[in-house]
Amino acid sequence: MSVQPRRASRRGWVLGGVVIALVLVGFLYGAASWFVYDTVGKAPRACWASDKDNTPTQFKVPDGVDVALATAYPLPAPQDVTFASRDPQIPDAKLAAWWIPADEANAPAVIVIHGVQSCRREASVLLAAGMLHKHGFSVFLMDLRDHGDSQGDDARFAGGSEEYLDVLGGWDWLRAQGVPAERIGIEGFSFGSITAIVAGSQEPQVAAVWSDSSTTTMFEGIGDFLASQIHDATGISKILVPGTIVWARLIAGDDLTRYDPITEVTAYGGRHIAFTHGAEDVVLPPTMATQLHDAAAAAHAITPDAWIVPAAGHTGGIYVDPEGYEQRLAASFTDALGSTGAVAAP
């Protein structure tokens, strides 16, 4: 009796087993990366529960932060504003903002941008606004699409590839109020800093950006954020990032990696951009701020050395060293946008 048929049969079973295993692995990978995208990639159309009642005139700071900071930089009652994104895909979406003009006429203005799954009610946003207003700046606090009180499109995070057009819609609103382009800056926290950098690279009239805790590339940023969320010190979870990027394209048509900050900062030649980062950031490593600074400086942007704040976590510099943050923030935008005409109280 020939053994050839038996060998062929065994090879067939082995090949079938390999195919089944590959299909199973592919299914599990797709399911895991979908879970990541569906969790991390959602835009909440709300604020964090801890911030939902915050306003410019009364807000709480995070646990463990000096409660005196909540009243250290008082703001007047804001004007409620609705405005349109520059994105032609959502022409009818109403985006929400607070406008707090300075006491001095013709003062420069700064747009302040929150992080992902947050909103303009975030304490760090309100603190930064208070610091700037104290130094005579007008401030524009906006909710990105599908965040806070803003309308949107698909309730998904697009990695800044769409949201930057919301920021530029706010910039357009300020221009319509008569604020000169050379007197408008943008500050962003975390994902808001990514969006701010992209907005400034795509609109060459943006005069200055302050970036707090940005990633260098979206691929690295998504991976580091995922690892921090599930406490994966090995970083092995980063293998899910490609699948997450594919799901974003399939489900929402979003290109999460369309704009990388490390590339976008090279468009700032002759303009101001500043970087800060917490030295103990476990979400995005602080070396990213140094890399962004070096790339911007090599492209002849006007940028001070990256400020790495000792003992600060992700976007925590404003809480750990508020006096230093205030002085650097105000000085950076004064250098870029010109004098406010006001003298800040000590």
Sheet holding 307-309, edge to edge: 79-83, 95-100, 138-142, 109-113, 184-189, 208-212, 272-278, 307-309
- pTM (predicted TM-score): 0.92
Indicate whether 144 belongs to any domain. yes
As a whole number of Å, the CA-based R_g of the chain is 23
Closest CA to 278 of 343, 195, 213, 182: 213
Could you tell me the CATH number of the domain that includes residue 269?
A: 3.40.50.1820
HSE (side-chain half, CA atoms, 13 Å) at 345: 6
Of 9-13, 114-118, 197-201, minimum mean pLDDT range: 9-13
User: What is the number of structural domains in the chain?
Assistant: 1
Return the pLDDT at 12.
66
Return the pLDDT at 255.
94
**pLDDT band at 291, cuts 50/70/90?**
very high
Indicate whether 308 belongs to any domain. yes
Cα–Cα–Cα angle for 28, 30, 35, rounded to 5 degrees: 95
Indicate whether 240 belongs to any domain. no
- b/e 106-145 (16+ beta carbons within 10 angstroms → b): ebbbbbbbbbbbbbbbbbbbbbbbbbbbbbbbbbbbbbbb
Tell me the pLDDT of the chain averaged across its residues. 92
* Residue pLDDT, tens place only, 307-328: 999 999 999 999 999 999 999 9
Indicate whether 8 belongs to any domain. no
Residue corresponding to tokens 């006491």: 103
Indicate whether 30 belongs to any domain. no
- Domain of 79? 41-217+257-337
147 has pLDDT over 80 = yes
* Residue pLDDT, tens place only, 28-59: 899 989 988 888 788 888 888 889 999 999 99
* Residue pLDDT, tens place only, 97-114: 999 999 998 999 999 999
